[in-house]
Structure 1
Amino acid sequence: MTEPGASVPPVPPSPRVTALEWGRMEVEGLAPAKDFVLYPGGGHPWDWSEHGTRHQPGIQPGEVRELLERGADVIVLSRGMDLRLGTDPKTLLLLQEAGAEVHIEGTTAAVERYNELVDAGRRVGGLFHSTC
């Protein structure tokens, strides 16, 4: 609990995506990888097996919980370069219940939106798939 009058530390900025091509992404401060989980203050390669994500039914609730827990209130979900990655309806319900602003787009558009939100100083998190 924060004492009255105490300042709350600012949320660190989310890292920008600096390059995207089929099967490879580059992100500020991180080693290149195929898929990424990004949030205020950092990120890491996205291991789909951790929460059981597959193309269908898609991104699982556990994937976005990490983004919310790390301070993101705007969430960008990529659908893959060929729009083959779905989003499980339970994931969308979790985000709605959390009051998060959500953007779901093909990966190229999702990266553009994410970087715009980072540049605007928003507390943004994202899940990015750089193939299919």
Structure 2
Amino acid sequence: MIQKIKSPQINSIKWGKISTGDGHEYKDAKLFPGGSREWDWNETGTHHRPGIQPADVEELLQHGAEVVVLSRGFHERLQTSRKTENYLKERNIPYHVLETEAAVQKYNQLREEQPAGALIHSTC
């Protein structure tokens, strides 16, 4: 049986701080099979509106994510652009758009079951 590479667990989340099982702390995080890194919105032009861009999730898929969790922030101010949802649908990638704490819970569950990716926003 081939063992797939797991994505790092999120150990804790609070306003402005995400702690991961691979020993990192981030304000906003990209998590994917085999690792994590800071999610820098400036790289893709992400803003609260129109929201998460296709380029934000592309890296997760390149690392082998087969399901994606997108967080909206603690006050659900971060949107997900329609282009991003279409991008995932066209590739038959299941995805979940949730409030941050619910997103962390869902991601931690999914990462145990299959290669998962997540974009976690730790503020608004």
TM-score when normalising by structure 2: 0.96
Matches of 2:80 and 2:87, distance apart in 1: 11
- Structure 1 unaligned segments of length 5 or more: list them: 1-6
Aligned to 2:85: 92
Aligned to 2:30: 37
Aligned to 1:26: 19
Aligned to 2:119: 127
- Structure 2 unaligned segments of length 5 or more: list them: none
Aligned to 1:58: 51
Matches of 2:24 and 2:110, distance apart in 1: 22
Question: Deviating runs (4+, > 6 A) in structure 1?
Answer: none
SS state of the match for residue 99, structure 1?
coil
Identity of aligned residues (%): 44
Matches of 1:98 and 1:50, distance apart in 2: 22
Shift of 1:73: 1.0
Shift of 1:11: 3.1
Partner amino acid for 2:119? L
Q: Given the alignment of the two structures, is residue 117 of structure 1 paired with residue 110 of structure 2, yes or no?
A: yes
Asked if 2 retains the 8 angstrom alpha-carbon contact of 1:11 and 1:71, the reply is: no
Cα RMSD of the aligned pairs, angstroms, is 1.2
Asked if 2 retains the 8 angstrom alpha-carbon contact of 1:30 and 1:43, the reply is: no
Asked if 2 retains the 8 angstrom alpha-carbon contact of 1:30 and 1:44, the reply is: no
SS state of the match for residue 58, structure 1?
coil
Asked if 1 retains the 8 angstrom alpha-carbon contact of 2:17 and 2:28, the reply is: yes
Partner amino acid for 1:127? L
Matches of 1:12 and 1:73, distance apart in 2: 12
Matches of 1:30 and 1:78, distance apart in 2: 21
SS state of the match for residue 26, structure 2?
coil
Shift of 1:10: 4.2
Partner amino acid for 1:35? D
Per-residue CA shift, 1:87-106, capped at 9, x if unaligned? Answer: 01000000001110110100
TM-score when normalising by structure 1: 0.90
Matches of 2:40 and 2:79, distance apart in 1: 16
Per-residue CA shift, 1:72-126, capped at 9, x if unaligned? Answer: 1100000001000000100000000111011010000000000011122x11000
Asked if 1 retains the 8 angstrom alpha-carbon contact of 2:6 and 2:112, the reply is: no
